[in-house]
Chains A and B, each alone.
Chain A
């Protein structure tokens, strides 16, 4: 097994999450700010998820050609839903009393978003990022069909030559990757939760 396959895989997942965050965060805020746009935005990002991933990649390949760019674009669209939805939910669920206090003290809309709402919504938003990343690890397997490489090639070749140990190895690495992402980012969430609940680190240590 080549380490480069793992790096390739991670590379695609990483950029997909970064791009979907760059697009999804503003979209989530938009969804929260404008009730009128809410339905449309959530409907569109939901739609991407209902297209079978392989089909989505195929469609994009028609426009962008085979290669990593196609994979990353596909994964990005695919990851939008959890990020947009969690950003929206996280912002919506911030205690209304805090929102009112912020407004009543004379924060502008943007200031309130940046200093109160986004920090307090960050654990929920991060959950969205984690879901997106874990999903992307699995979905990136299809990259092999549109010339993107990654761990999918191990599974594909394993199936083609009916090599069980190759299939198992590939699967094992993918599973491990997903679990590590899930666990590692889960820890970050705990940290964010603590931070937004306002416990200083010392007392949080005692609370454990």
Chain B
């Protein structure tokens, strides 16, 4: 448990932290967020006493470490910084072993720990343990940075914008990894960021700071539900809950599906399917109204004698209408094993189809932007 009691910090005439009071229970993932210069880093560094308060007390498991040698405390608090800070003159294994070595563990124990930790983040020991930091990508380096902080199994880990310098994809992966590690190892993590998306994703509790004071301290859902001020609201921005934009079937739809007139012959249909690389066609009448589908399987089974496709038309494929909620169709496709849903206009003409592929494309575009 970490307790801040009436903590004040000044630099010269400027008061950076005003009477800060909060308690962080064990095993919680706590995110400090707020505008630049609001005192997040200062507060974080007070926990491992890289910065001393001018007034007030900071208790860790009820104990005030002020006036005692901070070195021992720091060895039991993991520390990850934005600049990563791996020692370039040491290998990955040596970097991870720093704190265990400081705590007097022998080489064999350290090596075992290195094995274990690298395994947890899928970096094979043989391949990575003896590399130097500058032989790794930024994302890999910060992974090692996180492992280094965990190496001596500290109950508390401090992270100051650990993923701030990474590209969005890598950041996402590391966020998931850290969250997973935290759940598994039950650490108390204090995490600084100014990315609200990151805060909402990672936090059990968010502490929103402004001008050296706490603006709001709440779990993510509570903060989303009831932001304490306009500033918090503006930080929440696009993450705020709103029911004004549900997704419609047309958002997931592919237009211009292959259609065929119901007068056409069976052979012509089979030929068109082969040419287009599909196994079913949408059948329409003279006014372009949707009638159903015809499949290559049915044609092969009984099409020879039929001549026309009319008797082969099936109406088993599910149809939906433009403007319908997309969720139901998406769930249907994901669970039924059917390969598509037909989307109709209100006048019963064909607007398009939704396939697993077209769904995946939309998801990819929203995540990573609209390009191939």
Contact of A200 among B73, B74, B75, B132 (CB under 8 A): B132
Flag whether A198 is at the interface (Cβ < 8 A): yes
Closest residue of B by beta carbon distance from A108: B71
Interface residues of B in 76-107 (CB under 8 A from A): 76, 79, 81, 83-91, 98-99, 102
The main secondary structure of chain A at its interface with chain B is helix
Chain B residues lying within 8 Å of A198, measured Cβ to Cβ, are: 87-91, 132-135
Given contacts A104-B48, A104-B74, A106-B74, contact A196 B88 (CB under 8 A): yes
Chain A residues lying within 8 Å of B73, measured Cβ to Cβ, are: 106
The number of chain B residues touching the other chain, given as a range, is 20 to 34
Residue-by-residue, is A92-121 near B (CB-CB < 8 Å gives 1, otherwise 0)? 000101101111111110010001100110
Chain B residues lying within 8 Å of A1, measured Cβ to Cβ, are: none
Chain B residues lying within 8 Å of A97, measured Cβ to Cβ, are: 81, 83-85
Chain A residues lying within 8 Å of B72, measured Cβ to Cβ, are: 106
A106–B133 alpha-carbon span in the complex (Å)? 21
Flag whether B130 is at the interface (Cβ < 8 A): yes
Chain A residues lying within 8 Å of B76, measured Cβ to Cβ, are: 106
Closest residue of A by beta carbon distance from B98: A105
**Shortest distance between the CB of A15 and any CB in chain B (Å):** 30
Flag whether B50 is at the interface (Cβ < 8 A): yes
Contact A100 B81 (CB under 8 A): yes
Flag whether A197 is at the interface (Cβ < 8 A): yes
**Shortest distance between the CB of A48 and any CB in chain B (Å):** 32
**Shortest distance between the CB of A188 and any CB in chain B (Å):** 16
Given contacts A105-B75, A198-B134, contact A98 B102 (CB under 8 A): no
Contact A200 B89 (CB under 8 A): no
Chain B residues lying within 8 Å of A98, measured Cβ to Cβ, are: 85, 87-88
Number of chain A residues close to chain B: CB under 8 A: 24
Flag whether A203 is at the interface (Cβ < 8 A): yes
Flag whether B131 is at the interface (Cβ < 8 A): yes
Contact of A106 among B102, B130, B148 (CB under 8 A): B102
Closest residue of A by beta carbon distance from B84: A97
**Shortest distance between the CB of A194 and any CB in chain B (Å):** 10
Contact A101 B79 (CB under 8 A): yes
Chain A residues lying within 8 Å of B45, measured Cβ to Cβ, are: 104
A103–B102 alpha-carbon span in the complex (Å)? 12
Flag whether A38 is at the interface (Cβ < 8 A): no
Contact B85 A197 (CB under 8 A): no
Contact of A105 among B79, B89, B132, B134 (CB under 8 A): B79
Contact B81 A105 (CB under 8 A): no
Closest residue of A by beta carbon distance from B102: A106
A104–B50 alpha-carbon span in the complex (Å)? 7
Chain B residues lying within 8 Å of A196, measured Cβ to Cβ, are: 88-89
A79–B72 alpha-carbon span in the complex (Å)? 40
Chain B residues lying within 8 Å of A107, measured Cβ to Cβ, are: 71, 98, 102
A100–B88 alpha-carbon span in the complex (Å)? 14
Closest residue of B by beta carbon distance from A122: B89
Chain A residues lying within 8 Å of B48, measured Cβ to Cβ, are: 104
Contact A101 B89 (CB under 8 A): no
**Shortest distance between the CB of B126 and any CB in chain A (Å):** 14
Flag whether A187 is at the interface (Cβ < 8 A): no
Given contacts A101-B81, A104-B48, A104-B50, contact A197 B88 (CB under 8 A): yes
Contact B132 A199 (CB under 8 A): yes
Chain B residues lying within 8 Å of A197, measured Cβ to Cβ, are: 88, 134
Given contacts A104-B48, A120-B88, contact A111 B102 (CB under 8 A): yes
A120–B88 alpha-carbon span in the complex (Å)? 8
Chain B residues lying within 8 Å of A115, measured Cβ to Cβ, are: 87
**Shortest distance between the CB of B52 and any CB in chain A (Å):** 13
A198–B130 alpha-carbon span in the complex (Å)? 11
Contact of B131 among A102, A104, A200 (CB under 8 A): A200
Contact B134 A104 (CB under 8 A): no
Chain B residues lying within 8 Å of A116, measured Cβ to Cβ, are: 87, 89
Flag whether A169 is at the interface (Cβ < 8 A): no
Chain B residues lying within 8 Å of A104, measured Cβ to Cβ, are: 45, 48, 50, 74, 79, 81, 158
**Shortest distance between the CB of A119 and any CB in chain B (Å):** 5
Residue-by-residue, is A163-177 near B (CB-CB < 8 Å gives 1, otherwise 0)? 000000000000000
Contact B99 A200 (CB under 8 A): no
Given contacts A95-B83, A100-B85, A200-B135, 8 further A-B contacts (CB under 8 A): A98-B85, A103-B50, A106-B76, A108-B71, A111-B102, A116-B89, A198-B87, A198-B88
Cβ contacts A to B, 21 pairs, < 8 Å? A95-B83, A97-B83, A97-B84, A98-B87, A98-B88, A101-B79, A101-B87, A103-B74, A104-B50, A104-B74, A104-B81, A104-B158, A105-B99, A105-B148, A106-B75, A107-B98, A119-B89, A196-B89, A198-B88, A200-B131, A200-B132
Q: Which residues of A are at the interface with B, using a C-beta cutoff of 8 A?
A: 95, 97-98, 100-108, 111, 115-116, 119-120, 195-200, 203
The 8 closest A-B pairs by CB, nearest first: A101-B85, A198-B132, A106-B74, A106-B75, A97-B83, A198-B88, A104-B79, A97-B85
